A and B are shown apart, each in its own frame.
Chain A
Amino acid sequence: MENELKQLIIDTLDLEDISVADIDSQAPLFNDGLGLDSIDALELGLAIRKKYNVKIDAEKEDVVKIFSSVSTLAEYIQAARG
């Protein structure tokens, strides 16, 4: 799941020079880590909804926590799919 998610991040966000192996599952996705920004978060949210049919609702969920790393994102998606 985590590797699949890493590939989705790379493809969705046009991270041409980055490979799955370059992304640390525990490292922050935004700001310090990969350096992604809020537009990337929206884009990723859309891609996750399309691929996993999981909607991350910014009004109800703690998005900062969910998007903090590949690991937290994978956990959330798995839990949401049941």
Chain B
Amino acid sequence: MTADFIVREWNAWAPGVSCHEDWRNWHDHQAFAQAEKAAIPITVPKILQRRLSPLARAVFNAAEGCIDSDKSLPIVFSSAHGEVNKSLEMLKSMQKGEEVSPTAFSLSVHNAISGLFSIAYGYHQEITVVAPGQDGIAPAFIEALGLLQEHRSEVLIVLYDEPLADFYPSLPFALNAPAICALALKVSLTGSGLPLRFCRTPAHRDDGEQALQILSFIKFLVADDKALVLGNHRHSWEWHKK
């Protein structure tokens, strides 16, 4: 499989790193300003603001910069872990014999953030939420490219993940994000922007899960590198700047 597409716009948020300039100056192993929370966009109705987790706020910040005013883009969200830390909290409270909060449950499901997004922005387009498991960011691109092939002119991809609670033994798997991070990419088949070629590669790679791959992809966007190969033991994929 080989597919050409164009990154029309992108926007990413991590604690202390939020504009293109910040990302150009950001380098590997640089500590994130962990305590910093993404601001709540003013578009979000007051009554919904209380439901926004730090991860949701990061997603909203990244995505808001890429949605058009007529809200016509389908969106493909992708997260390996979603709000699993919320599920853990619920399990802990059940263990203590407490009843589960309906609000906590509703905000813990994998499509919780996309649901909040849709309500907050009055967004009625097709929304997909991918749980890519160990396969990293590639499944979200495959989904988005499929939508473009079905004649949608542009698609928004939103990749996000946050660090897992210490409870989960992450080693020896490379699956834990160093910080909350969200990346929104508006992609299309035509128009101006960054043209990329996406294809399978037989390379055997060990680049970790999506939480780590998001940062590699952002670095690729701002760097001069011509190609990026990402894989996590199973399939590997290459993004090539044309």
Q: Using a CB–CB distance below 8 Å, which chain A residues touch chain B?
A: 13-17, 34-37, 39-40, 42-43, 46, 50
How many angstroms from the CA of A40 to the CA of B104 in the assembled complex? 11
Contact of B50 among A14, A34, A46, A50 (CB under 8 A): A14
> In the assembly, what is the distance between CA of A15 and CA of B103, in Å?
13
Complex CA–CA separation, A13 to B46 (angstroms): 13
Task: Report B-chain residues with C-beta under 8 Å of the C-beta of A17.
Answer: 46
Q: List B residues 86-134 near A (Cβ within 8 Å).
A: 99, 101-103, 106
> Would you list 9 pairs from A and B whose C-beta atoms are within 8 A, ordered by A residue?
A13-B50, A15-B50, A17-B46, A34-B47, A35-B46, A39-B103, A46-B101, A46-B102, A50-B99
Contact of A36 among B46, B47, B102, B106 (CB under 8 A): B47
Q: Is the CB of B102 within 8 A of A42?
A: yes
A14-B99 Cα distance, complex, nearest whole Å: 18
Q: Count how many chain B residues have C-beta atoms less than 8 Å from C-beta atoms of the other chain.
A: 9
Q: Are B50 and A43 neighbours in the complex by a CB distance under 8 Å?
A: no
Flag if B46 contacts A43 (CB, 8 Å). Answer: no
A58 CB to nearest chain B CB (Å): 12
Q: With the chains together, A14 CA to B103 CA distance in Å? A: 11
The complex places the Cα of A57 from the Cα of B75 at a distance, in Å, of 38
Nearest chain B CB to A67 CB, angstrom units? 14
Chain B residues in contact with chain A, CB under 8 A? 45-47, 50, 99, 101-103, 106
Residues of A within 8 A of B102 (CB): 39, 42-43, 46
Contact of B101 among A35, A37, A43 (CB under 8 A): A43
Other 4 A-B pairs with CB < 8 A, given A35-B47, A39-B102: A15-B50, A17-B46, A35-B46, A42-B103
Residues of B within 8 A of A34 (CB): 47
Complex CA gap A43/B99 in Å reads 11
Tell me the minimal C-beta distance from A47 to chain B in angstroms: 9
Minimum CB distance partner of A50 in chain B: B99
Chain A nearest CB, measured from B172 CB (Å): 39
Provide the bound-state CA to CA distance between A77 and B106, in Å: 26
* Residue among A35, A39, A40 facing the most chain B CB atoms (10 A cut-off): A39
Check A46–B47 contact: CB distance below 8 A.
Answer: no
Residues of A contacting B47 in the complex (Cβ-Cβ under 8 angstroms) = 34-37
Closest to A47 in B: B101
Please name the residue on chain A nearest to B106 by beta carbon.
A39
- A40 to B107 alpha-carbon distance, docked (Å): 12
Residues of chain B within 8 A (CB-CB) of A36 are 47
Minimum CB–CB distance from A29 to chain B (whole Å) comes to 12
Give which listed residue, B46, B99, B103, contacts A40 with CB less than 8 A.
B103
Which A residue sits closest to B100, measured CB to CB? A46
CA distance A15 to B47 in the complex (A): 8
Residues of B within 8 A of A42 (CB): 102-103
A14 to B107, CA, bound (A): 14
Shortest A40–chain B CB gap in Å is: 7
Nearest Cβ on chain A to B111's Cβ, whole angstroms:
15
The chain A residue sitting closest to B107, CB to CB, is A39
